[in-house]
């Protein structure tokens, strides 16, 4: 329809048509379609003029007429009907351009002056002889164009991307030449940008355009429903063949409709987005949920300033813990973030936070999310989890963080004891702790028939994990194993727990592993356990029996031996036959050392002090004299070289010497 109107509009004295619309609204696409339609007509010759090739007013007119003449001389593109007349017009345009070549257009004067040689040649000559020659050639050119058996349509695109001065120069050229017969200019621009560039103290830009433009066509912004299939189909093509992270089909419709689509209003922006998606997805691999990647890439493309705030606001958007301590400084920082983020996102801030960073909803008056949500966010690899957001922002895994591919392998083997055992055996020791912890959410709601096999494979990882805590609030390293096992046992019905725990207990090769299983299954004073108290007592008796029959070489390999002895003796006196074997004495002393963490109020520094479980050791040996006798035997073996002195044993012996003199820590 646009092409038809261009052909129909009167061009007896030339015509200027404006094709307007916001940047990226599709003006260029419509202009290209119109060019193709006009090219198919035998009485129209299309000329495309690129204003980016000139710099300054003095180059513009010469370049314009040279370009127009050059395209008319190209016999391959000229229609037969226009071929002869077109070449004649081209020749005349060439002369006209040559006459203008030494001249510089002076904005506002409506005349031409010599920019470089005015002083040498004399201004009067330029305003006399040269001006007359130009007028004569213009009249001859006008006469030829009147006789042209058709029209020339000149398309000029991307005007709104020129500088303010270049926009002014271009429109003065159009105003100067727009009256040539049978030449139609089609100018493509953003009206708001061009009107602002043309406005000065003397005239408003809108009024300037009204005097030049004969017909105007506005390209409206595309409605959201029109962009939806473009984005959906474009993403399918962009992601084809690319390995990506988890994709939550249940979240995607909300993210697409409420977050991504409202951010786009032009095809050009959509194309920019679709072009950037493959690299983003490849760089993040399996570590970040694909829904979050697509949403954040839309944020980066459309609102880069808001996206740039994410690194400095990461602790507000995805806190490592969701327990908040009121702080004047933090409150001020939160308020400043909300104000700036909201201002940059043009109404999308709440949606971004709601769909991507739910823990930060409280900053916008929304609900609070407890720490129990964090494991689920981590399982789903959402940027709502601080570790996932950290990877998104920095594209690297921190030390001790297992790759998502390894987690996926382990999760796929849950329920298959031998397969899970094999996969976990391939995990490096440095990554085992993280791998086991991240299995916890996947152990919930596991079928009962898979509980025992999965728990057995997990308990076999105990020799590879550290024991005891490393900080003020960190749990013991053994809980990397015990947490998923505890979750598995709680999946069972009441009558299935007891036999499962007994089977698991019998399958654990180490004595300390049996103790740790009792930690999560047996009750405590005032707290009911997963198994009846009688069952726990019988398992402790079995533990004591195995302890009595174990040889010194087996006991020397046991971790946390002192605690194992105490648990076995919970229902009676401790019985440890090889207690005076130097290897067993060494292991008891080493396992009797415990780190104690303390912290001064108002300070973040954590002090760690090693203490000796003196009373427990004394009770195992039946008195301080027997303990001293056992230590003396150990020291003799150390001197003889039959027992090797290591760092842990040296620390334990040093503590023993202090305690033996009667010294006790203040907290003792």
pLDDT bin (cut points 50, 70, 90) of residue 469 is confident
Q: Which long-range contacts (CB under 8 A, 24 or more apart) does 415-421 make?
A: 415/446, 415/447, 415/450, 415/453, 415/454, 416/453, 417/453, 417/454, 417/456, 417/457, 418/457, 420/453, 420/454, 420/457, 420/458, 421/457, 421/460
- Contact present, 214 and 17 (Cβ < 8 Å): yes
pLDDT average, residue stretch 254-266: 93
Q: What is the pLDDT of residue 111?
A: 34
- Contact present, 144 and 174 (Cβ < 8 Å): no
pLDDT average, residue stretch 523-546: 91
Alpha-carbon span 51 to 154, nearest angstrom:
12
Q: What is the pLDDT of residue 129?
A: 47
Alpha-carbon span 243 to 278, nearest angstrom:
10
Structure tokens belonging to residue 117: 């040689």
Q: What is the pLDDT of residue 173?
A: 84
- By C-alpha distance, which of 266, 1, 269, 3 is closest to 155? 3
Hey, which bits of 517-658 come out as E strands? 593-599, 606-612
- In three-state secondary structure terms, 575 is coil
- Contact present, 391 and 287 (Cβ < 8 Å): yes
Type and span of the H or E element at 587: helix 582-591
Residues 172, 178, 180, 186: is their CA dihedral positive or negative? positive
pLDDT bin (cut points 50, 70, 90) of residue 89 is confident
Structure tokens belonging to residue 627: 């303990």
pTM of the model: 0.74
Query: Is 116's pLDDT higher than 60?
Result: no
Query: Is 162's pLDDT higher than 70?
Result: yes
Alpha-carbon span 511 to 514, nearest angstrom:
5
- By C-alpha distance, which of 153, 127, 122 is closest to 37? 153
Q: How many CB atoms lie within 10 A of CB 318?
A: 26
- Tell me what the pLDDT averaged over the chain comes to: 87
Type and span of the H or E element at 520: helix 511-521
Q: What is the pLDDT of residue 58?
A: 59
Alpha-carbon span 240 to 277, nearest angstrom:
11
Percent of the chain with pLDDT over 70: 89
Q: How many CB atoms lie within 10 A of CB 551?
A: 11
Question: Tens of pLDDT along 360-410?
Answer: 999 999 999 988 899 999 999 999 999 999 999 999 999 999 999 999 999
Q: What is the pLDDT of residue 124?
A: 38
pLDDT bin (cut points 50, 70, 90) of residue 45 is confident
Alpha-carbon span 355 to 163, nearest angstrom:
40
DSSP line for 293-333: HHHHHHHHHH-HHHHTTTTTTHHHHS-SS------HHHHHH
Query: Of 121-130, 274-283, 341-350, which gets the smallest average pLDDT?
Result: 121-130
Task: Supply angle C-alpha 8, 10, 11, rounded to 5.
Answer: 115
Q: What is the pLDDT of residue 351?
A: 96
Task: Supply angle C-alpha 252, 256, 258, rounded to 5.
Answer: 115
- Contact present, 565 and 620 (Cβ < 8 Å): yes
Which range, 5-14, 110-119, 428-437, is most confident? 428-437
- Contact present, 615 and 574 (Cβ < 8 Å): no
Query: Is 635's pLDDT higher than 70?
Result: yes
- By C-alpha distance, which of 649, 530, 506 is closest to 589? 649
Query: Is 117's pLDDT higher than 60?
Result: no
Q: Residue 158: CB partners within 8 Å, gap ≥ 6?
A: 28, 51, 52, 188, 189
Q: What is the 3-state secondary structure of 186-232?
A: EEEECHHHHHHHHCCCCCCHHHHHHHHCCEEEECCCCCHHHHHHHHH
- Which residue in the block uniquely carries the two structure tokens 């689920």? 376
List, in order of start, the domains of the chain with CATH numbers: 2-218 (3.40.50.300), 224-394 (no CATH), 574-668 (no CATH)
- Residue 277: C-alpha distances to residues 139, 238, 283, 292, 377 (Å): 56, 7, 10, 12, 23
- In three-state secondary structure terms, 43 is coil
Query: Of 72-76, 207-211, 272-276, 326-330, which gets the smallest average pLDDT?
Result: 72-76
Query: Is 121's pLDDT higher than 70?
Result: no
pLDDT average, residue stretch 85-94: 77
Q: Count Cα neighbours of 183 within 13 Å in the Cβ-side half-sphere.
A: 27
Alpha-carbon span 234 to 277, nearest angstrom:
10
Higher pLDDT, 324 or 538: 538
Alpha-carbon span 72 to 87, nearest angstrom:
6
- Residue 213: C-alpha distances to residues 32, 163, 400 (Å): 20, 21, 67
Q: Residue 45: CB partners within 8 Å, gap ≥ 6?
A: 71, 72, 77, 78, 79, 82, 86, 150, 151, 152, 153
Query: Of 413-417, 455-459, 472-476, 580-584, which gets the smallest average pLDDT?
Result: 472-476
pLDDT bin (cut points 50, 70, 90) of residue 128 is very low
Residue count of the chain, please give it. 668
């Amino acid at each position: 329809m646009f092409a038809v109107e261009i052909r129909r509009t009167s061009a007896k004295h030339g015509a200027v048509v404006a094709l307007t619309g916001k940047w990226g609204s599709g003006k260029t696409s419509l202009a290209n379609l119109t060019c193709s339609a006009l090219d198919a007509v035998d009485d129209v010759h299309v000329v495309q003029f690129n204003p980016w090739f000139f710099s300054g007013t003095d180059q513009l007119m010469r370049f314009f007429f040279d370009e127009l003449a050059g395209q008319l001389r190209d016999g391959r593109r000229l229609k037969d009907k226009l071929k002869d007349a077109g070449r004649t017009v081209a020749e005349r345009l060439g002369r006209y351009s040559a006459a203008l070549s030494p001249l510089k257009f002076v904005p506002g004067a409506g005349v031409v002056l010599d920019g470089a040689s005015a002083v040498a040649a004399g201004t009067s000559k330029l305003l006399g002889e040269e001006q007359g020659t130009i007028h004569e050639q213009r009249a001859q050119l006008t006469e030829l164009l009147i006789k042209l058996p058709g029209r020339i349509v000149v398309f000029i695109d991307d005007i709104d991307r020129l500088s303010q001065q270049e926009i002014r120069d271009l429109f003065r050229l159009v105003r100067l030449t727009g009256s040539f017969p049978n030449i139609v200019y089609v100018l493509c621009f953003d009206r708001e940008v061009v009107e602002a560039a043309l406005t000065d103290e003397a005239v408003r830009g809108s009024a300037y355009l009204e005097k030049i433009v004969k017909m105007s066509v506005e390209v409206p912004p595309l409605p959201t429903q029109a962009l939806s299939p473009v984005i959906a189909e474009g993403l399918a093509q962009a992601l084809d063949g690319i390995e990506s992270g988890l994709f939550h089909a249940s979240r995607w419709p909300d993210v697409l409709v409420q977050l991504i689509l409202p951010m786009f209003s032009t095809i050009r922006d959509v194309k920019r987005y679709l072009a950037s998606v493959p690299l983003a997805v490849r760089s993040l691999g399996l570590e970040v949920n694909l829904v979050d990647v697509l949403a954040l890439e839309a944020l980066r493309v459309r609102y880069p300033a808001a996206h740039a705030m994410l690194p400095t606001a990461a602790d507000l958007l995805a806190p490592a813990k969701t327990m908040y301590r009121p702080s004047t400084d933090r409150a001020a920082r939160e308020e400043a973030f909300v104000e700036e983020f909201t201002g940059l996102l043009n109404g999308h801030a709440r949606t971004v936070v709601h769909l991507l960073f739910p823990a930060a909803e409280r900053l916008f008056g929304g609900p609070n999310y407890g720490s129990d949500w964090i494991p689920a966010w981590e399982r789903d690899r959402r940027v709502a989890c601080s570790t996932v957001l950290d990877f998104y922002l920095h594209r690297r895994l921190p030390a001790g963080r297992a790759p998502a591919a390894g987690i996926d392998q382990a999760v796929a083997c849950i329920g298959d004891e031998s397969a899970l055992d094999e996969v976990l055996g391939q995990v490096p020791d440095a990554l085992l702790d993280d791998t086991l912890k991240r299995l916890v959410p996947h152990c919930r709601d596991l079928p009962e028939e898979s509980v025992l096999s999965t728990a057995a494979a997990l308990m076999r990882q105990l020799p590879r994990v550290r024991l005891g805590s490393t900080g003020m609030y960190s749990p013991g390293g053994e809980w990397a194993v015990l947490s998923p096992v505890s979750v598995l046992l709680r999946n069972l019905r009441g009558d299935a727990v007891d036999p499962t725990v007994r089977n698991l207990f019998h399958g654990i090769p180490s004595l300390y592993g049996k103790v740790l299983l009792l930690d999560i299954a047996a009750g405590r004073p005032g707290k009911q356990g997963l198994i009846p108290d009688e069952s726990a007592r019988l398992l402790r008796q079995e533990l004591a029996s195995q302890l009595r029959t174990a040889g010194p070489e087996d006991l020397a390999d046991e971790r946390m031996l002192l605690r194992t002895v105490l648990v076995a003796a919970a229902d009676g006196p401790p019985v440890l036959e090889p207690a005076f074997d130097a290897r067993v004495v060494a292991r008891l002393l080493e396992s009797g050392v415990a780190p104690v963490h303390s912290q001064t109020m108002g300070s973040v520094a954590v002090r760690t002090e090693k203490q000796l479980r003196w009373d427990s050791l004394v009770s195992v040996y039946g008195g301080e004299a027997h303990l001293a006798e056992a230590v003396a035997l150990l020291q003799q073996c150390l001197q003889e070289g039959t027992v090797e002195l290591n760092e842990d044993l040296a620390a334990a012996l040093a503590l023993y010497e202090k305690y033996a003199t009667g010294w006790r820590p203040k907290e003792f």
